[in-house]
Amino acid sequence: MKPSLLKKTVKLMKGGIKSKMPASVAPMLCTLTKEVIQDDKYLYELKWDGYRIISSVEKGKVRMDSRSSLNYTHKYPVVAKALAALKHDIVLDGEMVVFNEAGLPDFDALQLYDGQETPLTYCIFDVLWMDGYDLKKLPLAERKEILGQILKGNRILRYSESFEDGLALYEQVVQKNMEGIVAKMKDSPYIPGNRGDSWLKTPTRKRQEFVIGGWAESDKSRSFKSLLFGAYTNGKFEWIGRSGGGYKDKEMPGILKQLKAIEIDKSPFHNKVLDTKGARTHYVKPQLVANFEFATWTKSGRIRKPATFLGFRKDKKPKDVVREVPKPVGLIKEEITR
């Protein structure tokens, strides 16, 4: 028997569209901004440092898909059990997170998650479908209200709270060295795959995913000097920069082995690779996605200085990796007031 819901929650849910459960949902995306937009039209949430997961439960059967539609259900049995215990047919959107002893997200620990001993939390920020109703066209504020009741008191399935003061929240995440915040329009529908002004992300540091396209040989004892990376622009793979730091010495031979396994003769980039400084360059199939931190963009759309390698991202498809240049908040405000 399904758990009882508050009358208000049932009324909100039935404001959705009667429909079958979707087979899959592409996650709604955020537009990058340099600073926080402060506007009453938005509510604000923490930007969790983890893996984006769309989960579905139908007749007790659970499925969890990564952003690239990979089935991650077997990776998180504790969360799967908690989802099945909800006793609702439901589709949820959230982030899989491992918290450290200080209560902060630890992405490295998530990558090393062993399935049993490490505490795992699914931070859920949206409900897209529930008990026969498509909720995606409901305003975000109403979807959050439904979600809040469903997850109330759940420790493994954590309700991702919303806040009214974006600047204050951002200051807190800066002090705690967290990833950033997300601003979402209160009346926004959930549009699968969309990246617009309804959802905005403001990170505390410049970090992005890029696709590896090659490596430069080292003239020292290191396995390689740097990795060359890029992103897709209008379907073309474009070289953007290189990364020579952030690698652990013990991990570098393993990285080089991965690169050699997908080595190719010609550059996969459609544009010219600059600043080689005489190093011998090898190219690879653009299959590996990694996260990098960097100082700033140049006017020509390159990384100004070598970026720092933060780790691979196996949850994202290379062709989904596009260059994200921060959109001015002033321009966004102009667009949303038209």
Place of tokens 């622009």: 233
* Cα 72 versus chain centre, distance: 15
Q: What is the pLDDT of residues 247-297, one digit of tens each?
A: 999 999 999 999 999 999 999 999 999 877 778 999 999 999 999 999 888
Contacts of 275 (CB under 8 A, 6+ apart): 242
Q: Do domains 13-203 and 207-320 have the same CATH topology?
A: no
* Superfamily of segment(s) 207-320: Nucleic acid-binding proteins (2.40.50.140)
Q: What is the pLDDT of residues 66-93, one digit of tens each?
A: 988 889 999 999 999 999 999 999 999 9
Map residue 262 onto helix, strand or coil. coil
Contacts of 149 (CB under 8 A, 6+ apart): 5, 6, 9
Cα 295 to Cα 165, 204, 225, 242, 245: the distances in Å are 27, 12, 19, 12, 13
Q: pLDDT class for 116, splitting at 50, 70, 90?
A: low
Range 13-203 has CATH code 3.40.190.10: no
Enzyme catalytic residues: 47
Provide the residue ranges of all domains of the chain, joining segments of one domain with +.
13-203, 207-320
Which is nearest to 208 in space by CA: 119, 96, 280, 302? Answer: 302
Alpha helices of 155-246 — where are they, by DSSP H?
A: 166-175
10 class by beta-carbon count within 10 Å (0-12 exposed, 13-18 middle, 19+ buried)? middle
d(CA 269, CA 285): 10
Q: pLDDT class for 114, splitting at 50, 70, 90?
A: confident
